[in-house]
Amino acid sequence: MTEKIGKITLDYKYYPGEDLYCDGKVEDELLSIVKEHPASEYGRIIEERADWPTLYHLSALRGNIVEWIPVEKGMKVLEVGSGCGAITGTLAEKAGEVTCIDLSKKRSMINAYRHKECDNVTIHVGNFQDIEPELPCDYDYIFLIGVFEYGQGYIGTDKPYERFMTILKKHLKPDGRMVIAIENKFGLKYWAGCKEDHLGRYFAGLEDYPEGGGVRTFTRKGLEKICAAAGISEYSFYYPYPDYKFMSSVYSDAYLPKVGELSANRRNFDRDRLFLFDEKNVFDTIIREEEFPLYSNSYMLVIGRELEIKYAKYSNDRAEQFAIRTDIYEKQDGARFVKKVPLYQSAQKHVEGILEAAEKLNKKYEGGRFRINRCEKAADGVFLEYLSGHTLEELLDERLGCADEAGFLALVEEYAQAVSYREEIPVADYDLIFGNILVEGDRWTIIDYEWTFDRVSTGKDMVLRALYCYLIGSEKRRKASLSYLKDRYGYSEQDLEKFAEEEIKFQKYVTGNRLSMTELRNEIGYAVLPATHIAERQAAQWNRKRVQIYEDTGSGFSEEQSFFLPDAYEGRDVYGAGNKIAFDINIAEDVRAIRIDPAMENCMVTVEELLLYESDTVEKQISMGECLLNGKLISDNVVIFATEDPNMTIDFMRLKCAGKAYKLSVRLEIVPLSQKMAGEAVRGFSKKGLFGRR
């Protein structure tokens, strides 16, 4: 009934004997990896494999979603839906006892092998409903990370989510907490063109799952209604960003994001996505309109007493010796403070260096424009003063927004003068960018000085990096920043390219030459498809996929005696389709000839049917050899048109069919060609003597 893998116990008492869901080969590969490699090698393996399942299941960053929660060593934790253990290891490091439940034996074995040195973890394999009655009712925390949305599968009632929450609640201590991380079905990324995470279909959640299925995500109000139905009134919402899967920061109602902060939005690791609009710009608008909670990509619902932490930011997409977390706490009296803590023992020195940096910068800028945010030593990190106000970056954006060029340049000049103060002293805050300067009237405070080095850096160099970091934020910023760098300092595009190379070297120093999440996304290779480009290309394709008919009633062909057949192309409205033409037209008695323009592009046309009917009886089957063409006939029914105005003329006088009313039935297949390809094909067939009649 039980199995030991290292120090982990797996309990199979309620295992049904087979896994009812499985990702097949992927899970076999993951099991092999965790059996054969220590966790320290997972990062290298993720980069080498460059695929979504390996990243999703083995990345250490998955643990961010729970690492900031104040779980302590004396606490008991329940993790429902533990899967391959992406969260389990983080919980095991923090808690005294961790109980896991998962339906899959294969996934539970992956979990056990990767955490086999943890002696405080038990994994129950089986259906939650079977295992739940035997669970104790004294858990300090119950975690459902990416699990609550599957409530219909766990609980078979007409109100599964309310019932699921009610069942779990009874297993908490009186002062315990339940933590649910889940996608927001109104998340901005879905409006912007990301597919729904579970069904892989565009807009499935926004349309309220019209095709059904066993998964449901919710808006904030939807989750609040479930809480109310479950008799829960004490809860708080947190907002993981970019989402809960690879959270880099988490906000709360007490500390919401500021304009300009949400720029890491292209996170389609698992599938292609559309790019309907710039999410950063839209997030900025949403933040100004105070609607961020409605559009946060994910929610973290904490049921129970509110946490003192109101914000946490992870800087652990780095080498371990630089990996830290920044928290903002709020005490009951409303007082706030900032705390920075190392995430690994090896990062302790880096955090202690922040305190040293404060002392050095205070000495350098004494008497100058800058004030240094107060820093004090903490038992496990450093405390910093919490300051409110607007950053210099926000003020510059305001100047750009109202087209105040003079105000923009004046602020940059003020910055340039401030950073040039005592520039000969060998102390430099490399990250003294606009977003790290808080402006309160005439007082400018440096609020983050983590990357301070003992070296000389000129004011000109500092301005270059600050403007470089600023301009990569948006196209509007780019124009203003480039203009200033060129006009004021004489930097060229080549100078900026050289600086960009140096910046990449610094970033690689910070990450320990590991791939960033953006680089990993690019390596995995799922496309970001700009919707505007697709729409424009489709519109251009539609304009080319038009059939125009000219009629000659004795005065030749003219635009006045022509008309379009908008529905002639089959599937014209389907992107990439629509290469078949089918139409019937009536020929009046006075029509001497007609000209068919099958497209507005270079193309190859295969004639499948060209029939002339009189009173529903086939009068004549017209061959291409009987038509006048401005293309090259390469077989009995195939012609290449090396022109954007292809046409084929049927002369009823020449065919001795004039003077009667007919119906013409046309069936063609079109293959678009580039101008070069069409020209080469025509020349090739001509040289071989395959050119037919005109």
pLDDT band, very low/low/confident/very high, at 498 (cuts 50, 70, 90): confident
Cα dihedral value 567, 570, 571, 573, nearest 10: -20
- What is the maximum alpha-carbon separation in the chain? 102
Q: Shortest CA distance to 265 belongs to which of 194, 342, 170?
A: 194
Neighbours of 254 (CB within 10 A): 16
Strand partners, 124: 11, 101
pLDDT reported for residue 554 = 92
pLDDT over 70 (residue 552):
yes
Tell me if 329 sits within 8 A of 339, measured CB to CB.
Answer: yes
What average pLDDT does the segment 422-430 reach? 96
What average pLDDT does the segment 326-330 reach? 96
Q: In 3-state terms, what secondary structure has residue 364?
A: helix
What percent of the chain clears pLDDT 90, i.e. is strictly above it?
Answer: 78
Q: Shortest CA distance to 265 belongs to which of 288, 284, 290?
A: 284
pLDDT over 90 (residue 616):
no
pLDDT reported for residue 692 = 42
pLDDT tens-digit map of 625-643 = 999 999 999 999 999 999 9
Q: What contacts 179, CB < 8 A, 6 or more positions away?
A: 66, 69, 141, 142, 143, 144, 145, 300, 301, 302, 303
Tell me if 249 sits within 8 A of 504, measured CB to CB.
Answer: no
> How far apart, in whole angstroms, are the C-alpha atoms of residue 105 and residue 115?
15
Residue count of the chain: 694
Token pair listed for 480: 């203003």
Average pLDDT along the chain: 92
pLDDT tens-digit map of 216-233 = 999 999 999 999 999 999
pLDDT reported for residue 575 = 47
Paired sense of beta strands 628-629 and 648-651, if any: antiparallel
pLDDT reported for residue 35 = 97
Q: Which domains does the chain have, with CATH numbers?
A: 1-145 (3.40.50), 180-307 (no CATH), 316-526 (1.10.510), 538-687 (no CATH)
pLDDT over 90 (residue 648):
yes
pLDDT over 50 (residue 403):
yes
pLDDT band, very low/low/confident/very high, at 158 (cuts 50, 70, 90): confident
What average pLDDT does the segment 186-213 reach? 95
Residue indicated by tokens 């909670």: 293
539 vs 424 pLDDT, higher one: 424
pLDDT band, very low/low/confident/very high, at 569 (cuts 50, 70, 90): confident
pLDDT reported for residue 168 = 97
pLDDT band, very low/low/confident/very high, at 693 (cuts 50, 70, 90): very low
What average pLDDT does the segment 388-409 reach? 91
CA angle, 319 as apex, 313 and 322 as ends, to 5°?
55
Distance set, CA 293 to CA 250, 300, 358, 388, 546 (Å): 12, 11, 35, 21, 47
Tell me if 612 sits within 8 A of 622, measured CB to CB.
Answer: yes
Q: What contacts 379, CB < 8 A, 6 or more positions away?
A: none
pLDDT tens-digit map of 343-386 = 999 999 999 999 999 999 999 999 999 999 999 999 999 999 99
pLDDT band, very low/low/confident/very high, at 572 (cuts 50, 70, 90): low
pLDDT reported for residue 480 = 83
Q: In 3-state terms, what secondary structure has residue 588?
A: coil
pLDDT reported for residue 691 = 40
pLDDT tens-digit map of 49-105 = 999 999 999 999 999 999 999 999 999 999 999 999 999 999 999 999 999 999 999
Q: Shortest CA distance to 64 belongs to which of 272, 305, 246?
A: 246
With DSSP H G I counted as helix, E B as strand and the rest as coil, what are the percentages for the chain, rounded to 5? 35, 25, 40
In sequence order, what E strands does 484-552 have? 528-530, 547-552
Tell me if 537 sits within 8 A of 576, measured CB to CB.
Answer: no
Q: Cis link prior to 242 (omega < 30° from 0)?
A: yes
pLDDT reported for residue 451 = 96
Q: Shortest CA distance to 84 belongs to which of 56, 61, 50, 126?
A: 56
pLDDT over 70 (residue 573):
no
Whole-angstrom distance between the N-terminal and C-terminal Cα of the chain? 84
pLDDT band, very low/low/confident/very high, at 576 (cuts 50, 70, 90): very low
Q: Shortest CA distance to 647 belongs to which of 543, 552, 519, 547?
A: 547
pLDDT reported for residue 621 = 92
Tell me if 337 sits within 8 A of 317, measured CB to CB.
Answer: no
